[in-house]
Amino acid sequence: MNMTRNVSVVAVAALMASLAAPAVAGDTITVASWGGTYQEAQTKAFFKPTADALGITIKEDTTNGLDDVRLQVSGNAVKWDITELGADECARGSKEGLFEKLDYGIIDKSGINPKLVHDDWVGISYTSVVLIYRTDVFGDKGPKTWADFWNVEKFPGRRALSGSQATETLSVAALAEGIPIDKVYPVDIDGALKSVDKIRGHVDAWWTSGAQAMQLVKDGEVDMASIWNGRAGTLKKEGAPVSFSFDQGVLTADCMVIPKGAKNKEAAMKALAMFVSPQLQANLPLYVDNGPVNEKAFETGKIPPERIKDINSAPENVKKQVLQDAEFWRDTLVEATEKFNNLVQQ
């Protein structure tokens, strides 16, 4: 009896809460990102503070990328108000007209690399492709540059490169040919493919996910690999005998968009403006290794000075790396990927 009453009280309270919450707190928007530790960090860095500041509710979902947006927009069933994508996906989706225009009257773009500020998409964070090697195999005399990685005589050992991200592997292949970091883009695709051709016989695994790259290095299946800096940082934190640096890294940006037909466009615009603001951007590196896209974040004083050198988008580190050109890959991705697959699967 008592029990039943308790249950019904709880049920009524829950019902009232669910009815009352949106009315009190204002709009509800849904944001989709990649899930995992990265999204957990975003929740703490971006979503929660934004929800608190704007008095809105932010629901979260996870995305598989551009296909999902395409499916929702073409099916007239847009679930998300904001979604994260890779920058080359944003560039392609923009060409296909899948996104709403952004209002830079609301979103302050200062501090963001102009290459990542577009009519309908804006950068949100950076990942770097870096060269990692095992110190139990090479000590501290491991391969430091992509030319070293390509040098199988001087650095014998097992190797892994990305098989799924042809754009990244072609960029490092160009670097391996000795092309200076500011001359890599526009990538000479045929030249880069020739470079891949030289190394492919020595590649023991072409990884297709960040987790796989991590596992290959962690278990000693390979002695050196290309890997995303977040994964590399995790390996180091876990105590794996590895070393990596941002020298000759390939900076790839992630971006955020409002899918065409999003239900709460206005609230989404305000939320997005918060996400890219220096204050919230400065939160991101406190939780994860993906660097802020807004360089003013480094001036907020929120990021401890000793942390700054480990952040891929810190001004010092940006100088050492190549920035992936999303618009270049927008127009060349399909052709380059097909050619890359033909070569790798020969």
Residues of this chain that bind another protein (CB under 8 A): 64-67, 70, 92, 96, 158, 160, 163-164, 204-208, 212, 215-216, 219-221, 333-334, 337-338, 341-342, 344-346
- Between 26 and 65, CB nearer to another protein: 65
CA-to-CA separations, 155 to 194, 237, 339, in angstroms, rounded: 20, 25, 28
CB of 266 to another protein, least distance (A): 28
Number of residues in the chain: 346
User: If residue 121 lies in a helix (H) or strand (E), which one and from where to where?
Assistant: none
Show the tokens assigned to 178: 């000795």
- Between 51 and 240, CB nearer to another protein: 240
- Between 225 and 303, CB nearer to another protein: 225
Show the tokens assigned to 160: 């892994």
The count of other CB atoms within 10 Å of the CB of residue 83 is: 30
Coil, strand, or helix at residue 228? strand
- Between 104 and 328, CB nearer to another protein: 328
User: If residue 137 lies in a helix (H) or strand (E), which one and from where to where?
Assistant: helix 135-138
- Between 161 and 271, CB nearer to another protein: 161
Taking the C-alpha atoms of residue 130 and residue 225, their distance in angstroms, rounded to an integer, is 8
CB of 333 to another protein, least distance (A): 7
Looking up tokens 């480990």, which residue turns up?
310
- Between 240 and 303, CB nearer to another protein: 240
User: If residue 132 lies in a helix (H) or strand (E), which one and from where to where?
Assistant: strand 122-134
CB of 241 to another protein, least distance (A): 13
Query: With 0-12 CB in 10 A as exposed, 13-18 as middle and 19+ as buried, what is 17?
Result: exposed
